[in-house]
Chains A and B, each alone.
Chain A
Amino acid sequence: MKKTLKEKLAESRQAYAATGCYAGITEPRLLRSDPIAAELFHSRLLAALIAGRETTKMISGSPYVREVAELAIGLYTPEGHNIAQSTGIQAHSRPMGEAIQWMIEHDWEEKVGIAPGDLFWFNECSVAGMHPADVYDILPVFREGELVAWVCTVIMEMDIGAVSPGCMPVPNVERATDGVRFAGEKVGSHDQLRHDIVTKCEMSFDMADMFLLDRKGAIAANLHVRREVEKLIGECGLEWFRTATCELIEEERRNQLARLRQRTVPGRYRNVISFEYYMAQQPTSWLPAKRDVIRLAPMETRIDASGRVVLDFEGAGEWGWHSFNATPSGMWGCLAIGIVQTLSWDGRANLGSLLPFELELPRGTVFNPGDTRPLAQANTWATTIETFSAWMATLSQTYFMRGFREEMLGFRSAYSIAMVGYDQYGQRRPLLAACTGTIGSAASAVRDGLDPGALLPTPEVDRGNAEIWEAFVPHLDLSHRLDPYSAGAGRYRSGLCMPIMNLIHGGREIVGSALVSGGTYGILPNLGLSGGYPGGKLIRAVLHDTNVAQLIAERRPLVHELGSPADPDYARLIEARISHPHHVPEPFALANGDITIDAHGAPGGFGDPLERELEAICRDLDNGLITAEIAARLYGAEARFDTRMQSWQIDEDASARRRREKRAERLARAVPAREFWVGRSRQLAAREFDPLISEMYASSMKLSESFAQEFRDFWALPASWQPEVP
C-alpha cells in the first residue's frame, strides 16, 4: 500500500534520529559509484533552478525582482527537505521546506488534496518564513500518480496589504496589521490560479498588478523546474532519482562537517548583540505595546570534537508586542544564508548544510516567543540579520585562528526610509525602495572590506538602477557616493557605505516610515576584530521645508554626501527644518522638496588602526575614501595634498611621531582591567545606570537563572542583587 506523505516524513525523521545520517543513509553508494553521472545530475538540477529564477525576473514587473532580485527557487523531497537551491536569497531554503512539512503534518494530502498542477501559497510566518512579505509559491511534482518532489519559489512583495507603509510596517504589533497571510491555501489547479483568488488579490492589494505578475513569474519558474525534473526522472528512473536526491543531502551533511573540521577550531566562542525596540510613541491601538525596550542576546557558539556547532542564546531577553521578534524558522533561515556565503558556497548547499548545526533558542525569548499567531511579524528579519551579522564575526574569529584568514567575512544591518502615499502617477500605494547594496563588508585579516555590496540576506547584493527606482517612487536619488566616515577603522578597514539621500518629488500626501533590517542603534554592534573598530551609528535626517527649489533655480549645489558627521553637509548646504528620527521611527509627513537621508555605519575593521600601512592610507586619500582629518585622528597619519602633483603625500616621519604619541596617550589613559572592574562593579551594585539598561538586564535575568548567576559572579554582586525594573 502506498505510504502517505505524513508516514514518509515520520520515517525520514526516525531514520535520522536513529543513525545521525539523512534518511538513514549510512553508506551513500549511488552517487559515488558514478561520479560523472552524479555531477551531471546535480548540475542539471541546479541549472533548472537558476534558469527558473531568471525566467521569473523576465516575467515579473516588480523592481524588487528585476532590480535587486529578491527571489530564489528550491527543489524539495516529498518530505519537504531541500535538495538544491537556486542562486538568490538563500534564507528560505529551510523555511520553504518547513512550510511544506506543516502542510503534510496538517493533513493537506487527505483533507485539502494534493494533485498534479495544484498551486499553493504560503507566507504564514508563525509557521515558517522570514516575514509575511516573502510569499512562497509551492508546486508538487508527480510521477505515475505519486508525489515525488516539490518546487517552491520565494519572492519578496512590496505590498502585502499591511497597514502603512504597506510592507514591513514598523508601527504594527498585531497580526491583522501585517497584511494578507496564506497558510498553504490551494490557490489554483491545472497550473492556473483560481479566478476567485485573483479577484481577492485585486481587492486586497494596492499593487495587485505587481503581486500577480510576481505570481506569474513564480509559476513559470516552478513549471520550468517541474518539466526539467520530469525529464530527469524519465532519463534516470524514479528509484535512481529518489536515492540520488537523498544522497545529495547526506553527502552535503558530511561535506559540511568536514569543512567545519577543516576550517574552524573546536572550543567555545562568545559575542553579544542587543536590539533596541522603541515603540512608546508608535501609533498603535494595542496600548501594552507602547513601550521602549532593549533586548539583550548573549551568543555562545560551541564547536565539538565532531565538528558539530551549537549556537546557544541562553540569556536572551523576552519577546514583546512589536513586529521584530525572531522565530526559530527565521533564525534557521538566517543561519543558512550566513553559512552559504562562507562555508557551503560551492552550489551544493541544501538541508545537509544545516544538519551539523543546532540552535538553542530558549522559549519566551525574542528568538522564540512561542505562539506567534497573535503577533505582527513584519520585521522578523531585523532581529535575525542583526544576530547573524554578529555571529559572522565569531565565525571569522575561528577562521582566523585556523589560518583561513581570506575567508573572514562580516555584515551589518541596513535601514532606509519607507513611504506610503500618492505616487507621481496619482495612485496611493506603498512607496518602497530597496536599501540593499549600500553597506560595506567587514575587513578580513588580509584585506580591506568590500565597498558597498555586502548584505547578509543576499549574496548577490545589488542596489539596482537609480532611474528605475525614480520611475517607481516619487523621489530623486541625490547620492551614490562612498562615505569616508562610514568605515570601521583598522589595520584593514571595513568597506565603505553609500548614504541613501532622496529628494521627494512628484507625489503627494506622503507618510514616511522605515524599512528596518536591524535592531541596533545607540549601542554599536560588537563587530571589530583584533583591535579594529565598528563603523558608527546610523545617521538618519529628514529635511523639511527646504530651500531646494530656490537652490535649483539659482543653480547652487544640493547635498550629495554626508561630509563630517560633526558638521554634516545637509546642515550646511540646505536651509531646512531638520529632524533626526531613530532607526524605527514613528510615522512622519513628507512633502515635495523634502530630503531623506540614511547614512550607515559599516561593520568592523581588523587590527590596530595605528598599524595600517601609510601607503594604503595614501591610496584611500587619493581615491576619496578617507579624509586627512580621519587619517590623522584614527590612523595617526600626517597627510598633505600636493597641488603640483595633484595627489596626497604622507609625511612618514611626522606620522611615526604621531603614532608614538598616540600609543603613549593610550598607556596614559588606560587603566588596569582590575581598576575598571572595581569601578564598574561599584556602579552596578549601586544601580547607577540607565533605566532602559536596567530593564534589559531584568528581562534576561527573569528568563535565565544561569545568565543572572554568571552576571552576578562576574561583577561579584550579592546573590540578592537584581536590576530595578522601572
Chain B
Amino acid sequence: MPLSREDLADLIDGRLPWPQVKAIVSTPKDDDRFQRLLEVLQTRVAWAERILMPLGDHLYVVEKGTERIVKCDCGQEFGDWRCNWKLHSLVLVRDGEASLQEIWPGRSAPDPRLCEVREYICPGCATLLKVETVPFGYPVVFDALPDLDVFYREWLHAPLSSESACEDRSLTVIGQWAADRGAPPGPN
C-alpha cells in the first residue's frame, strides 16, 4: 500500500491512528518503503553523512568518506559497522540484587547469580540504546550485521560506490583491549 511521506513520517513517530496502521499491516507492502524511510530519516539528523541502514531507534550505519560507520543521531560515532557498536558504548551492568531491583522489584527481578543485564548507553546523549539480558558471562551479542553490499546491489539494484566484505571484525577491538591489558596477549 503506497504511503504518503506524511503518513510514513507519522507511522515512524507513532502518531498514525491505529485504523490506518491496521490497514497498512493488512495490505500488500510498498516495495519502496526502505528508500522512502531513508529520505525521512535523513532529514531528521543534523549531520551530513548518508544513512545506509537504520540499526535502532537512534543508531544508523552511515557512509563517512570511504568508510561505513555506526553513528547515533546525536553525532556520536561507534566505529566500523563490522565491529559490534556496543564495544564503543558505555555499559551499565546490573548483576546485583540492588541494581536489578531498580527495574524489576521484588520477585520479578532476575537471579543475579545467573543473569546479567547490560544497558548500552550512548556516551554522546545518554540515550539507552539497547538492553541485553543474558546468562552471566555470555559474550556481548552482535545483534545485526547487515550485508549492505548484497542488499544494495542485489535487492535494491542500486550498488554502493565501494564494496567491502561483510565480516565480523569485533575481535580486532578485543585484540587491542587484550594487548593493552598486557596478558594474555590477544585472542588465542
A671 touches B91 (CB 8 A): yes
Does A296 touch B at the CB level, under 8 Å?
yes
* A3: B residues at CB distance < 8 A: none
Mark the stretch among A72-80, A356-364, A675-683 that contacts chain B.
A675-683
Interface residue range, chain A? 35 or more
**Which of A401, A532, A680 is close to B137, meaning CB atoms less than 8 Å apart?**
A680
B34 touches A447 (CB 8 A): no
* Chain A, Cβ-Cβ closest to B32: A403
* A684: B residues at CB distance < 8 A: 137
* Chain A, Cβ-Cβ closest to B145: A268
In whole Å, how far is B167's beta carbon from the nearest beta carbon of chain A?
A: 9
* B18: A residues at CB distance < 8 A: 447
Does B132 touch A at the CB level, under 8 Å?
yes
* B55: A residues at CB distance < 8 A: 401
B126 touches A716 (CB 8 A): no
In whole Å, how far is B78's beta carbon from the nearest beta carbon of chain A?
A: 10
Q: Contacts A406-B25, A564-B105, A693-B114 given: A271-B143 contact, CB under 8 Å?
A: yes
Cα-based distance from A276 to B151 in the complex (angstroms):
38
Does A421 touch B at the CB level, under 8 Å?
no
Does A719 touch B at the CB level, under 8 Å?
yes
A267 touches B146 (CB 8 A): yes
B140 touches A537 (CB 8 A): no
In whole Å, how far is A60's beta carbon from the nearest beta carbon of chain B?
A: 31
* B187: A residues at CB distance < 8 A: 712-714, 716
B168 touches A717 (CB 8 A): no
Give the residue among A265, A489, A633 with the most B Cβ atoms within 10 A: A265
Does B177 touch A at the CB level, under 8 Å?
yes
In whole Å, how far is B4's beta carbon from the nearest beta carbon of chain A?
A: 15
* B92: A residues at CB distance < 8 A: 666, 669-671
* A269: B residues at CB distance < 8 A: 143-145
Cα-based distance from A404 to B37 in the complex (angstroms):
9
Does A697 touch B at the CB level, under 8 Å?
yes
A404 touches B155 (CB 8 A): no
B186 touches A531 (CB 8 A): no
Q: Contacts A267-B147, A533-B131 given: A522-B111 contact, CB under 8 Å?
A: yes
Q: Contacts A522-B111, A524-B110, A690-B114 given: A673-B188 contact, CB under 8 Å?
A: no
Mark the stretch among B42-50, B63-71, B116-124 that contacts chain A.
B116-124
Does A606 touch B at the CB level, under 8 Å?
yes
* Chain A, Cβ-Cβ closest to B111: A522
Cα-based distance from A446 to B55 in the complex (angstroms):
15
Q: Contacts A526-B141, A531-B127, A676-B91 given: A272-B134 contact, CB under 8 Å?
A: yes
Q: Contacts A530-B57, A531-B56 given: A402-B135 contact, CB under 8 Å?
A: no
* Chain A, Cβ-Cβ closest to B22: A406
In whole Å, how far is A543's beta carbon from the nearest beta carbon of chain B?
A: 14
A266 touches B155 (CB 8 A): yes
Does B31 touch A at the CB level, under 8 Å?
yes
In whole Å, how far is A724's beta carbon from the nearest beta carbon of chain B?
A: 13
A268 touches B109 (CB 8 A): no
* B151: A residues at CB distance < 8 A: 265-267
**Which of A268, A672, A718 is close to B184, meaning CB atoms less than 8 Å apart?**
A718
Q: Contacts A401-B144, A523-B115 given: A528-B150 contact, CB under 8 Å?
A: no
Q: Say whether chain A's binding surface is mostly helix, strand, loop, or mixed.
A: mixed
B21 touches A446 (CB 8 A): yes
* A599: B residues at CB distance < 8 A: 108
**Which of A272, A303, A712 is close to B188, meaning CB atoms less than 8 Å apart?**
A712
Cα-based distance from A670 to B86 in the complex (angstroms):
13
Q: Contacts A263-B29, A268-B168 given: A667-B121 contact, CB under 8 Å?
A: yes
B14 touches A492 (CB 8 A): yes
* A395-435 to B contact mask, C-beta < 8 Å, 1/0: 00110111111110000000000000000000000000000
Cα-based distance from A712 to B188 in the complex (angstroms):
7
Cα-based distance from A663 to B129 in the complex (angstroms):
12
Cα-based distance from A273 to B126 in the complex (angstroms):
28
Cα-based distance from A447 to B12 in the complex (angstroms):
10
B91 touches A670 (CB 8 A): yes
Cα-based distance from A714 to B89 in the complex (angstroms):
17
B57 touches A534 (CB 8 A): no
* A446: B residues at CB distance < 8 A: 11-12, 14, 16, 21
* A262-283 to B contact mask, C-beta < 8 Å, 1/0: 1101111111101010000000
* Chain B, Cβ-Cβ closest to A682: B181
Question: Which chain B residues in 68-90 approach chain A with CB under 8 Å?
Answer: 86-90
B108 touches A565 (CB 8 A): yes
B135 touches A296 (CB 8 A): yes
B91 touches A666 (CB 8 A): no
**Which of B114, B127, B178 is close to A522, meaning CB atoms less than 8 Å apart?**
B114
**Which of A601, A608, A674 is close to B57, meaning CB atoms less than 8 Å apart?**
A608
In whole Å, how far is A723's beta carbon from the nearest beta carbon of chain B?
A: 9
Does A580 touch B at the CB level, under 8 Å?
yes
* Chain B, Cβ-Cβ closest to A684: B137
Cα-based distance from A671 to B37 in the complex (angstroms):
34
Does B160 touch A at the CB level, under 8 Å?
no
* A613: B residues at CB distance < 8 A: 14
A568 touches B106 (CB 8 A): yes
Question: Which chain A residues in 562-593 approach chain B with CB under 8 Å?
Answer: 564-568, 580
Cα-based distance from A666 to B120 in the complex (angstroms):
10
Does A641 touch B at the CB level, under 8 Å?
no
A677 touches B188 (CB 8 A): no
**Which of B21, B36, B120, B125 is close to A406, meaning CB atoms less than 8 Å apart?**
B21
Question: Which chain A residues in 595-609 approach chain B with CB under 8 Å?
Answer: 599, 601, 606-609
Q: Contacts A530-B56, A684-B137, A689-B137 given: A672-B90 contact, CB under 8 Å?
A: yes
Selected A-B contacts with CB under 8 Å, 9 pairs: A269-B144, A397-B144, A524-B115, A528-B132, A529-B130, A536-B109, A673-B89, A716-B187, A718-B184
Q: A404-B33, A523-B111, A611-B57 are in contact. List 5 more A-B contacts (CB 8 A).
A: A266-B146, A446-B16, A601-B108, A611-B127, A713-B188
The 10 closest A-B pairs by CB, nearest first: A536-B108, A522-B111, A565-B106, A670-B90, A403-B37, A536-B104, A663-B126, A716-B178, A267-B146, A566-B105
Binding site for A on B (CB under 8 A): 11-12, 14, 16, 18, 21, 24-25, 29, 31, 33-34, 36-37, 53-58, 86-93, 101-111, 113-115, 117-121, 123, 125-148, 150-151, 154-155, 166, 168, 170-171, 174-175, 177-178, 181, 184, 186-188
